[in-house]
């Protein structure tokens, strides 16, 4: 897996999601869940995950190994340059607990947004 980045996806990028085609040709590694300290919010057409001290259940999702070209496309999709999301490491439960996994965190306020309970 040299040169690949492990990405945790939790919304429209998951299998069956409207943006899953962005992961075409990449490697699905399995389902995962964040540790406590994260919550998911309804942003309309897509969800956004944020670090939140009250997040006790964690957020479910999928782990993918993606190449550099795919990662660059995902950064554009997620609006990283515009400050919509930021890509950073996220702790997951086993079997991914000891691996460096990144995800897209919503980078704007969730004030007034409804939490998605999963």
| Catalytic residue ranges | 78
Q: How many CA atoms lie within 13 A of 100 on its CB side?
A: 5
User: How far is it, in rounded angstroms, from Cα 55 to Cα 21?
Assistant: 30
Residue 34 DSSP label: B
3-state secondary structure of 61: strand
């Amino acid at each position: 897996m040299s040169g690949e980045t492990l990405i945790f996806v939790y919304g429209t990028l998951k299998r069956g999601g409207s943006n899953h085609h962005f992961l075409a040709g990449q490697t699905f590694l399995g389902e995962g869940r964040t540790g406590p300290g994260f919550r998911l919010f309804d942003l309309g057409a897509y969800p956004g995950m944020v670090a939140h001290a009250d997040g006790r259940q964690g957020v479910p999702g999928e782990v993918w190994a993606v190449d550099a070209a795919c990662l660059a496309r995902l950064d554009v999709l997620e609006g990283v340059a515009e400050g919509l999301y930021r890509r950073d490491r996220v702790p997951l439960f086993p079997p991914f607990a000891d691996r460096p996994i990144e995800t897209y965190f919503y980078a704007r306020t969730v004030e007034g947004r409804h939490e998605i309970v999963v």
